[in-house]
Structure 1
Amino acid sequence: MNRPVIDYQAVFQALPGPVALLTPELVYADANAEFLSMSGRTRGQVVGRYLFDVFPDNPNDRGATGMRNLYASLRRVVDTGERDSMALQRYDVEDPERLGVWQERYWSPVNVPVLAPDGSVALLLHRVEEVTELIRARGARGGERAPVLETELYTRARELQEVNERLRQAHAREREVALHLQRAMLPAPRPLGHHRAAVRYRPAVGALNVCGDWYDLADLPDGNRTVVAVGDVVGHGLRAAGVMGQLRSALSAASRVADGPAQALEVLGLYARSVDGAESATAVSVFIDWTGRTLTYSSAGHPPPALRHPDGTVTFLDQATDPPLGARPEHVPGPQAQTAFADGSALVLYTDGLIERRREDIDTGLLRLADSLARHGTTDPDTLGDALLTDLIPPSGLTDDTALIVVRL
């Protein structure tokens, strides 16, 4: 059965509610018939013009806040990629046929991001519900209470807007602290002896760049081995960043004295039991032996690392997997496996945001990763890391945080 061809422009114009599309610079890109009818403007008076040139604040009302509140909401959507439902706004509109005459209007706007393939905000969908007639009708039934009712509604709207602004400021402060914590706790990529590695770190769309994923890579004291690890803490924000930092530091320290990755993850699993917020956290660790040309690895509930061989074939290191950290009711030694590698191979560690998609089996994501690795005939870490992100990040952006490490072997 052939699927019908959908004319989305016709659908947009037929929407029963007032809707407009704005660019991130707040210039009207389009407006449907209901929006034009509600606002009393023609298409030529709206499209291509700056929002607040079309609808400025009433200069005769010193207490007017509609423009300022709407601007703050729209900028918040552009900055965060998250929708914003505004409290009831009094936003007077100038009569287009009688300049200088302002009509008192009450609007309830919702602003929604329209995302580009790279996850950035390409457009803003601005939907407006006008409730002016409802307020007037209630006021008419109340007789002398009409002015009181309008004042009460407007005051309540102002109070709700102030609460939203305080919440936004608190969220912004949390984001700033969490970002600082991340930068302090995650190591800057550095040379591993004479070996090359690349790190890529991408937040989920709407996560405000604050992630619970982490990575670590360092040469061990014996001079012949390098440890590479990635992990994933459930959640976002300051709490996840704090847990992430604790687990990364603990594994980094354990790896420097452990016999191998299984023992290091055992220590981390025991430690995780005492850390609030570490429940269901996962991690994988690989010890690279440069002299023996072997990879020794162990996983605690984490997706398997991938090894790209010089001939383009791909092997997943999936023979030593345990449940997530601290999940076993009793402590038992963790699994560990070893495999050889040839010069010119590439080792890839990642978190689940790179491969997992909603309503999709994880094996599909692993096959997608293997196909991308096989197609790219390079083991240069920076080039390969960028290629993997280009291939595997969906057009709508990541729905989960992603850390990625590529090491040339």
Structure 2
Amino acid sequence: MAEAEIDYAAVFQALPGMVALLTPELVYADVNEEFLRMAGRTREQLVGRYLFDVFPDNPGDPTANGSRNLQASLQRVIATGERDTMALQRYDVESAERPGEWEERYWSPVNAPVLGPDGRVAVLVHRVEEVTELIKARGARGSSRPQVLEAELYTRARELQALNERLREAHAREREVALALQDAMLPAPGPVGHHRAAVRYQPAMGTLNVCGDWYDLVDLPGDRIGVAVGDVVGHGLHAACVMGLLRSALSAVSRVAEGPAQALEVLGLYARSVEGAENTTVVETCIDWDTHIITYSCAGHPPPALLRTDGTVEFLDQATDPPLGARPDHVARPQATTPFTEGDTLVLYSDGLIERRREDIDTGLARLADALTRHLGTDPEPLADALLLDLLPAVGATDDTALVIVRL
């Protein structure tokens, strides 16, 4: 027996709850019949219009924050690709019959993403439960116990909203401190001989998703430099402190180690004594202009990219090993070499540049290789800006990104 075709448009319209489909620009793409009924609006008043043009905050209430909270939730969904369930919201609505009059309304919203083929959010599903009647029970229900419970529910909801506001403020302060610490620990690099290099640190959008990544460039004896990029597991102020310890340690040991592998071995032993340093990823390279050889070793980190002058891209992935502290016993780390020619470009980066949720890492590496090829011949400084513009999400990255580019 053949399966019956499902009319999904009819199913959407018949859904019992309020559901709207929004574009990433927060414009109504479609709404179901229940949404129209409960919102007191026609389809023409909604579809094709910006959400907050249709439903702004009550201008007569200086404490109104419904639109701000809803916009923050929707932006989180766009940035993370994850569903967001909001706390109970008071969000007054202007009366359709009596313009200028605002009706006290309470809502329980859930926002969910629909991803497109590229892994980015293509549509937002905005589902809302109207709970005004529950909160504002009057008249026929009298002063019974249910009304008391509803009043308690409203009070607890307002307390939860206030707590959320305080937490956001505390997280924002932590972010400011962490970024200041990060800026002090990751200054612009000094001259690396006569060679051109560019560095970037791009913090994450969220208040806590910041300060785990670092970069380092050091002069070595002869016409050589060491270049490293690392990523501490975790975020926030503690991750920034761990990052500072590891960066300083690697910067020191790379000056006396026999090569990148030995430098990472020593750093791995040190990481065992630093709380929060376990499973840090790092890649260390040594560029030797006398021999035109790059020596490298990688501890669980994405491979450096070598852009050749002919436009081909080689990923340096022949010396990969687990992150720092991942093994219970000490084991020598691998090391590999590759030749380069004058005019090649070496690119080291952290995973924030290439990784996306629900996407294979090879897709991100291919995206990086394509961007490098398109910008062949670009100097390091403009190339760094171009890569961040091309590869990071337009709405803000959810992970921080470190980037180092050296013209060889």
Asked if Structure 1 and Structure 2 have the same fold, meaning a TM-score greater than 0.5 normalized by the shorter chain, the answer is yes
Paired residue for 1:303? 302
**Letter aligned with residue 73 of structure 1:** N
**Letter aligned with residue 349 of structure 2:** Y
Q: Is the 8 A contact 2:57 2:66 kept in 1?
A: no
1:109 and 2:105 are equivalent in the alignment = no
- The alpha-carbon deviation at position 269 of structure 1 amounts to 0.8
Paired residue for 1:182? 182
Paired residue for 2:342? 343
String of CA shifts for 1:261-296, please: whole Å, max 9, x gaps: 222212211111011111111111111122232222
Q: Determine the C-alpha separation between the residues in 1 that align with 2:84 and 2:189.
A: 37
**Letter aligned with residue 188 of structure 2:** A
Q: Determine the C-alpha separation between the residues in 1 that align with 2:358 and 2:91.
A: 43
State the secondary structure of the residue aligned to 1:234.
coil
Paired residue for 1:200? 200
1:377 and 2:376 are equivalent in the alignment = yes
Paired residue for 2:265? 266
State the secondary structure of the residue aligned to 2:352.
helix
Paired residue for 1:313? 312
Q: Is the 8 A contact 2:135 2:154 kept in 1?
A: no
State the secondary structure of the residue aligned to 1:183.
helix
- The alpha-carbon deviation at position 231 of structure 1 amounts to 0.9
Q: Determine the C-alpha separation between the residues in 1 that align with 2:110 and 2:359.
A: 31
State the secondary structure of the residue aligned to 2:295.
strand
Q: Determine the C-alpha separation between the residues in 2 that align with 1:213 and 1:373.
A: 22
Q: How does 1:85-124 map to 2 (within 5 A)?
A: 85-91=85-91, 93=93, 95-98=95-98, 103-110=103-110
Paired residue for 1:73? 69
Q: Is the 8 A contact 1:28 1:51 kept in 2?
A: no
Paired residue for 2:154? 154
* Residues 326 and 141 of structure 1, relative CA distance in 2, 3 Å threshold: same
Paired residue for 1:3? none
* Residues 376 and 269 of structure 1, relative CA distance in 2, 3 Å threshold: same
Q: Is the 8 A contact 1:207 1:236 kept in 2?
A: no
1:163 and 2:163 are equivalent in the alignment = yes
Paired residue for 2:326? 327
TM-score (norm 2): 0.78
* Residues 332 and 45 of structure 1, relative CA distance in 2, 3 Å threshold: closer
Deviates more, 1:260-269 or 1:89-98: 89-98
* Residues 118 and 127 of structure 1, relative CA distance in 2, 3 Å threshold: same
Q: Is the 8 A contact 1:90 1:105 kept in 2?
A: yes
Instruction: Give structure 2 stretches of 5+ with no counterpart.
Output: 1-5
- The alpha-carbon deviation at position 239 of structure 1 amounts to 2.4
Q: Determine the C-alpha separation between the residues in 1 that align with 2:102 and 2:362.
A: 61
Q: Determine the C-alpha separation between the residues in 2 that align with 1:301 and 1:56.
A: 48
- The alpha-carbon deviation at position 344 of structure 1 amounts to 1.2
1:247 and 2:246 are equivalent in the alignment = yes
**Letter aligned with residue 403 of structure 2:** L
- The alpha-carbon deviation at position 230 of structure 1 amounts to 0.6
State the secondary structure of the residue aligned to 1:108.
strand
Deviates more, 1:256-265 or 1:366-375: 366-375
String of CA shifts for 1:130-151, please: whole Å, max 9, x gaps: 1234456798556544653443
Q: How does 1:278-289 map to 2 (within 5 A)?
A: 278-289=277-288
Q: Determine the C-alpha separation between the residues in 2 that align with 1:366 and 1:100.
A: 54
Q: Determine the C-alpha separation between the residues in 2 that align with 1:314 and 1:46.
A: 48
* Residues 382 and 127 of structure 1, relative CA distance in 2, 3 Å threshold: same
State the secondary structure of the residue aligned to 2:65.
helix
TM-score (norm 1): 0.77
State the secondary structure of the residue aligned to 1:68.
coil
Q: Determine the C-alpha separation between the residues in 2 that align with 1:179 and 1:99.
A: 46
* Residues 302 and 103 of structure 1, relative CA distance in 2, 3 Å threshold: closer
Q: Is the 8 A contact 1:139 1:146 kept in 2?
A: no
* Residues 178 and 111 of structure 1, relative CA distance in 2, 3 Å threshold: farther
Deviates more, 1:376-385 or 1:184-193: 376-385
Deviates more, 1:223-232 or 1:386-395: 386-395
- The alpha-carbon deviation at position 375 of structure 1 amounts to 5.0
State the secondary structure of the residue aligned to 1:249.
helix
- The alpha-carbon deviation at position 155 of structure 1 amounts to 1.5
State the secondary structure of the residue aligned to 2:217.
strand
Q: Determine the C-alpha separation between the residues in 1 that align with 2:390 and 2:27.
A: 32
**Letter aligned with residue 130 of structure 1:** E
Deviates more, 1:369-378 or 1:283-292: 369-378
State the secondary structure of the residue aligned to 1:406.
strand
Instruction: Give structure 1 stretches of 5+ with no counterpart.
Output: 1-5
Q: Determine the C-alpha separation between the residues in 2 that align with 1:85 and 1:361.
A: 27
State the secondary structure of the residue aligned to 1:297.
strand
Q: Determine the C-alpha separation between the residues in 2 that align with 1:113 and 1:135.
A: 29
* Residues 250 and 14 of structure 1, relative CA distance in 2, 3 Å threshold: farther
Q: Determine the C-alpha separation between the residues in 2 that align with 1:321 and 1:390.
A: 28
String of CA shifts for 1:48-77, please: whole Å, max 9, x gaps: 588488565496xxxx78x62314414544
Q: Is the 8 A contact 2:119 2:359 kept in 1?
A: no
